[in-house]
A = this chain, B = another copy of it.
Amino acid sequence: MSEIGVGIVGTGFMARVHAQALAAAERTWSLPVHPRVRAYCGRPDSPVSSLPSWPELADAQPLEGWRALLEDPAIDLCYVCTPNASHAEICVRALEAGKHVFCEKPLAHRLTDSSRMAARAAAAPALQAAVGFNYRRVPAIDLARAMIAAGDIGAPRHICGGYLQDWGLDRSALGIWRADPAQAGYGALSDIGSHLIDLAQHLMGSTIVAVAGTGAVGSTLAAPGGSGDRSECTSAYGGAAPVAYDDAALLVRFDNGASGSLDISRLASGHRNGLHFEVRGCEGSIAFSLERMNELELSVTRARGETWRRFYVTERDHPWQGRWPPGHPLSWEHTFANQALDLLTAIATDDTFHPTFADGAQVDGVIEAAARAIESGGWQAAARGQALINNRQTV
């Protein structure tokens, strides 16, 4: 059995998440290749002495910037967990250096970057170019996908979904990079909207081809005396910066004729991390909420007034189970271990891990269309992406 050297670029919250997920995967399953985190780094100009010394990275070497990390021949797989605007350069260079790459979502800040990343990945088919839409690996969500694909609700016709957070209402949050358009692109639309768009397409089994939308800028709400005046908002974000949406409501049309309503907000009091959806088909519905992430609800029949059947997605034949007996719920953290398992397995078997950079670029295309729709009104076409390929045949 072989070992695979891992390098982690970034020292934020997600960097720790992946370090822990790799260790958890190692402990949980008999992996075909063994991940070993060998190095990590911060911003290019961050001296080694300023890097955090987390227990997760106790065995890894701190390096000064990602270029040093890419030069290390012992690194086979590179995790890119930096602010969105920096993804493109690091990922392209990593692929050029012959590394497998796992990039956090959204793939890039600008669609030109995403496309460049996807093109570079296409040119190196032997390397994994993975993007971190981890919610595909929530067991209940994958069960939903499988039920829909199996026809349990008939042809899916509409998805009503939301990804709602509340931290944008906290003025002290405005200083972080996720609230800075120069680093974070289209705000909530990029940050959490990318997850929702990816999931919507994944569940409906079809890509989004058109978008209409409306949006609000967070800082106008959070700023003292915020009046909703955009100029005030723009200055709150630092002058002429492109606008970052903290609240975006979208209508979407899928390639297969289905439709969707997507509700995205970081200004949604009451929701700490509220991802939810309901998919409606010709013969039933499926509903999910991340706040009860081990449950799935299915409506198929009205016999005797029956409305919903609840599933507790912890059975042995459910996706990514086999660690505990049924009834012991998994949580957010486990989606990353599941993701690591699938990525390492793909590396070992020369299969392609999904979602790929191509998938990530397609989502960025929808985001960009959404931003255009919000700015200019009307329906905006999204580039017709390649057919999504599910790489798991579960349940």
Contacts and interface: CB of A to CB of B under 8 A. Distances in A.
Interface in A141-156: 153-155
A24 B24 contact: yes
A271 B314 CA distance: 12
A117 interface: no
A130 B181 CA distance: 49
Q: Which of A226, A305, A325, A327 has the most CB atoms of chain B within a 10 A radius of its CB?
A: A305
Contacts of A306: 309-312
Contacts of A308: 270, 309-310
A253 interface: yes
A70 interface: no
Interface string A159-187: 01010011101100000000000000000
The DSSP consensus for interface residues of chain A is mixed
A58 to B, nearest CB: 8
Interface residues of A, number: 100
A175 to B, nearest CB: 14
Number of chain copies forming the complex:
4
Given A24-B20, A24-B24, A331-B331, A307 B378 contact: no
Given A214-B253, A378-B377, A307 B272 contact: yes
B307 A313 contact: no
A311 B309 CA distance: 9
A392 interface: no
A1 to B, nearest CB: 11
Contact of A309 (B29, B221, B309, B334): B309
A242 to B, nearest CB: 20
A206 to B, nearest CB: 12
Interface string A13-30: 100110110011011111
A265 interface: yes
A201 interface: no
A394 B224 CA distance: 30
A251 B249 contact: yes
Interface of A: 13, 16-17, 19-20, 23-24, 26-31, 55-56, 153-155, 157-158, 160, 162, 165-167, 169-170, 212-216, 221-222, 226, 228, 247, 249-251, 253, 257, 259-261, 263, 265, 267-273, 278, 280-285, 287, 291-293, 295, 297, 299-300, 302, 304-315, 317-318, 323-334, 377-379, 395
23 contacts: A28-B55, A166-B299, A167-B327, A212-B379, A213-B251, A261-B261, A268-B280, A269-B281, A269-B285, A269-B302, A270-B284, A270-B285, A271-B307, A293-B329, A304-B311, A304-B315, A304-B317, A305-B318, A306-B311, A307-B311, A329-B332, A330-B333, A377-B379
